[in-house]
Amino acid sequence: MTGPLENLDAVVEELLDQLAAFTSVEELDAHEPVLAGRRSPLAALQKSLGGLDPEARRDAGARLQAARTRVEAAVEGHRRRLAAAERERRLEADRLDLGDVVAGAVPDTLRAGHPGLVARTQAELEDVFVAMGFRVAEGPEVESDWYNFEALNIPPAHPARGMWDTFYVDLGEPETVVLRTHTSPTQVHLMEAAVRDGSLPIHSVMPGRCYRRDTPDARHLAAFHQVEGLVVDRGITFADLAGVIETFTRAYFGTDVDTRLRPSYFPFTEPSAEFEITCQICRGAGCRTCSHTGWIELGGCGMLDPAVLEAVGIDPDEWSGFAFGFGIDRCAQMRHEIADMRALTENDARFLEQFS
């Protein structure tokens, strides 16, 4: 065959040979115009058809179009194969070969997890109180202002509110809602339930998480845990309270730890006290953890204020009682001689595995 398309087959073969030599998608993309696009010899041949008579031009145009389609399909096929190979190489390069990781960086045995120190301490404290005849109860962490403050004899704007730096969830009407700043509101829930079911007396402990807008330091966390204690019965005296505190501290910390009660103030108890134990970090000598006093405050306690009993409909002439509340994290800190309480929340495996 003569004419402009005389060498068409050879041109196509030549283009396909060039195509096969490209080894990356990037290289292929850069050369595509030369193979199948504007700068391809096929585009030049197209122009040369202009001098043919109409019938010959139609035949030649159809042949040229078929050749183009063939080259374009070959380019597409080659691009797909190159892209697949590149993806394969990338995956291979990214594969993490654990055999190559420095010896020791990968554990050779899998170990089961275990409850954290705070959960374990809470369970141990519950055991001590259950052995003393208390029941265990729980209350909500999100409380209305009434439960967290007002029912505990802390009306709005009472200066004692400053004792609890509070996270407010909702300042709205009709109720202000807070993250409970202590476990004391659970006392109110328990007394209300006992009045409802006619199930007084109450001898209960109530562990749980509390929140305060505090800057964490060696002895404080913003989210921490307390155990509340509540006894409502007939003829309860301060001696019962002191006896319970003494018995519990000896059972949990051991008989060589001293306890002391110091006069204090809480709006929901009268009289009120703080109870402290010998600092276990320095054994009473004085250190950074106890601010060089030799004592660590565990919590507060006191005889139930009649106003608290009245707020839930319990007759203070018939019933009396005491309450206490202290830090679980603080107990864990003292029992295990942890100088800085923030270690409890840092999740450092070297710290955690000491308590498995």
Residues lying near ligand DAH in the complex (CB under 6 A) are found at: 182, 184, 228, 266, 268-269, 272, 299-302, 323-325
Closest CB to ligand DAH among 16 and 160?
Answer: 160
- Find the shortest distance in angstroms from Cβ 173 to ligand DAH: 27
Closest CB to ligand DAH among 45 and 210?
Answer: 210
- Find the shortest distance in angstroms from Cβ 225 to ligand DAH: 11
Angle at 301 between CA 298 and CA 304, to 5 degrees: 165
- Find the shortest distance in angstroms from Cβ 303 to ligand DAH: 8
β-strands 202-211, 135-136: how paired?
parallel
Closest CB to ligand DAH among 86 and 270?
Answer: 270
- Find the shortest distance in angstroms from Cβ 111 to ligand DAH: 37
Closest CB to ligand DAH among 252 and 322?
Answer: 322
> How far apart, in whole angstroms, are the C-alpha atoms of residue 210 and residue 118?
13
- Find the shortest distance in angstroms from Cβ 295 to ligand DAH: 17
Closest CB to ligand DAH among 75 and 244?
Answer: 244
> How far apart, in whole angstroms, are the C-alpha atoms of residue 274 and residue 261?
6
Based on its alpha-carbon atoms, the radius of gyration of the chain, rounded to whole angstroms, reads 40
Cβ 183 vs Cβ 227: under 8 Å:
yes
Residue written as token pair 């009306």:
155
- Find the shortest distance in angstroms from Cβ 187 to ligand DAH: 6
CA 44 from centre of chain: 68
Would you call 238 helix, strand, or coil by DSSP?
Answer: helix
> How far apart, in whole angstroms, are the C-alpha atoms of residue 77 and residue 37?
16
Closest CB to ligand DAH among 184 and 259?
Answer: 184
Q: Which is nearest to 226 in space by CA: 213, 214, 210, 211?
A: 210
> How far apart, in whole angstroms, are the C-alpha atoms of residue 86 and residue 145?
63
